[in-house]
Amino acid sequence: MTPPEIAITVHVNGRSYAERVPPRLLLSDFLRHHLGLTGTHVGCEHGVCGACTVLLDGAAVRSCLLLAVQTDGAQITTVEGLAGDGERLHPLQEAFREMHGLQCGFCTPGFLLTAVELLRDTPHPDDLTIRRDLAGNLCRCTGYQNIVHAVRRAAELMGRR
Amino acid sequence: MKPPAFEYVRVGTTEEAVAELARDGEDTKLLAGGQSLMPMLNMRLAMPRRLIDLNRVGELEYIREREDGVAIGAMTRQRAVEKSALVARQVPLLADAMPWVGHFQIRNRGTIGGSLAHADPAAELPAVAVCLDARVTVRGPEGSRTLTSEQLYRSYFTTTLASTEILTEIWFPAPPARTGHAWLEFARRHGDYALVGVAAAVTLRDESIAEARLALTGVGGRPTRARDAERRLVGRRGSDAVLEDAADSVRQTIQPASDIHGTAEYRRRLAGTLTVRALRLAIERAGRAPSRTT
């Protein structure tokens, strides 16, 4: 017997969506398949890799460890919402591009959203803080050096605005 | 890697949750922060018929000073505990261990009650609770009862709670004067499950150890108090030889298992090494601690 679908309203990147979802649907799959927001990447699906990180009411969380039904009424930010409306990239995105903080790019959305909370809590982080707070995100290309440089650079860019 | 189908029930109060469990508790799991349960669902290690979601039970989210200690509601996020000034002041061991629980994104969702009730033998919070003789409150159809954290744990991922009961609160006593604490663990990557973790609390009188508490994680099916090692420390000064003697006791009394992450022998050695380091750090902090608690 399939459990009934549940109606939810979720606010993603400033837009409201009213949808019906089966209880077992993960937030990551809801964002990708129901809303077409495929910037949120799915890596391990058990909370280890951090590729699916989004902001839930401002806090960085694993979207693969949440059910879509749980986010009824919540505010969610995905990588698509980082830059805002204009052409201009978010300073973190600018810094990742400038400092070569990505290669294949698969892990990047998760790193960006993790770094949003990192820089909000610690606007001028030292490298140890950056490394500690990025420890929950895996990257198989860069060796992390340039990601650390990019977050440091973003802190500079954001401090300047 | 998708959860199996289940019936989803959202509750708004503890009372509703207890009633839902009593009404139909068969094959039912409580969903707290979901940072352990959701991976188990995704990997189909758990296939409950029904989930009761506690995440809207606001009355279980609090950190309060009470009875010379700190009471924390079961649904309080680990990140809130980590950032609490009250916890830092009154339960420094908990504050010390908190950054080791997963990663900060995990702690944004994970709850203190969820971690305690999940009873993972490698987890930090159960060992911290057992080290400090924290008290746990549970609620069932017949009302509330309180038990010590040692009474809570039975074995691997298994508590002594009835299937109709919900863990609602944990209370930690404030430390005596001149007490120092330390949490140390070793994991291959920070945030991963610890191979071994050690919680230590040491109270000094003059230059000697008046009271010592030691609890270990990762060395058996449940958090383990090293009582013989504690006894060996009392009344003595914290010299290298005394700390080694306590570590000897730990190595001899624990019964770790071998798995793909490390052999039993490796865990035994690690437990001894971490015991010495944790005790040394706790003693050093006790020396700096105020002679009266405020």
CATH 3.30.390.50 in chain B, residue ranges: 179-288
The C-alpha atoms of residue A86 and residue A155 are separated, in whole angstroms, by 21
Tell whether A65 and A127 lie within a shared domain: no
Q: What was the pLDDT predicted at B75?
A: 98
Q: Which CATH architecture has domain B58-173?
A: 2-Layer Sandwich (3.30)
Contact B42 A45 (CB under 8 A): yes
> In chain A, what residues touch B4 (CB-CB under 8 Å)?
24
Tell whether A101 and A130 lie within a shared domain: yes
User: Does the structure's ipTM exceed the value 0.90?
Assistant: yes
- pLDDT category, A1, cuts 50, 70, 90? low
Q: What was the pLDDT predicted at B26?
A: 86
Q: What was the pLDDT predicted at B1?
A: 82
Q: What was the pLDDT predicted at B261?
A: 87
A83-92, A147-156, B91-100, B235-244, range with the lowest pLDDT: A83-92
Percentage of the residues of chain A whose pLDDT score is greater than 90: 93
Tell whether A69 and A21 lie within a shared domain: yes
CATH code for position A125: 1.10.150.120
Tokens encoding B38: 């959701």
Buried b (16+ CB within 10 A) or exposed e, A138-155: bbeebebebbbbbbbbbb
pTM: 0.95
The C-alpha atoms of residue A55 and residue A62 are separated, in whole angstroms, by 9
* Residue A15: inside a domain: yes
Tell whether A14 and A56 lie within a shared domain: yes
Residue A74 clears pLDDT 50, i.e. is over it: yes
What average pLDDT does chain A have? Answer: 96
CATH 3.30.43.10 in chain B, residue ranges: 7-53
Contact A135 B10 (CB under 8 A): no
Q: Tell me which of A62, A129, A138 to substitute to probe the interface with B (most B C-beta atoms closer than 10 Å).
A: A62
Query: If one looks up domain B179-288 in CATH, what number appears?
Result: 3.30.390.50
Contact A3 B3 (CB under 8 A): no
Q: Which residue has the higher pLDDT, A161 or B209?
A: B209
CATH code for position A27: 3.10.20.30
> In chain A, what residues touch B3 (CB-CB under 8 Å)?
24, 26, 67
* C-alpha distances in Å from residue B253, one per residue of B107, B211, B256: 33, 20, 10
Q: What was the pLDDT predicted at B294?
A: 47
Q: In which order are the strands placed within the sheet that holds B135-140?
A: B63-65, B69-73, B166-173, B135-140, B143-148
State whether CATH 3.30.565.10 applies to domain B7-53. no
Q: Kindly give the confidence (pLDDT) of every residue in chain B, 294 residues in length, as a single tens digit, with 9 standing for 90 and above.
A: 899 999 999 999 999 999 999 998 889 999 999 999 999 999 999 999 999 999 999 999 999 999 899 999 999 999 999 999 999 999 999 999 999 999 999 999 999 999 999 999 999 999 999 999 999 999 999 999 999 999 999 999 999 999 999 999 999 999 999 999 999 999 987 778 899 999 999 999 998 999 999 999 999 999 999 999 999 999 999 999 999 999 999 999 999 999 888 999 999 999 999 999 999 999 999 998 877 654
Q: What was the pLDDT predicted at B189?
A: 78
User: Which among A86, A88, A94, A78 is positioned nearest to A38, based on CA atoms?
Assistant: A78
Tokens encoding A51: 């590729």
The one-letter amino acid code at A4 reads P
Are B172 and B94 a contacting pair, CB within 8 Å?
yes
State the residue range of the domain holding A21: 6-81
The nearest CA of chain A is from the CA of B147 a distance in Å of 31
Q: Tell me which of B57, B103, B106, B193 to substitute to probe the interface with A (most A C-beta atoms closer than 10 Å).
A: B103
Chain A, residues 49-78, CB within 8 A of chain B, namely 50, 53, 56, 59-62, 64-67, 69-70
> In chain B, what residues touch A29 (CB-CB under 8 Å)?
2
- Mean predicted confidence (pLDDT) in A15-31: 98
Are B167 and B138 a contacting pair, CB within 8 Å?
yes
Pairing of strands B7-10, B50-53: parallel
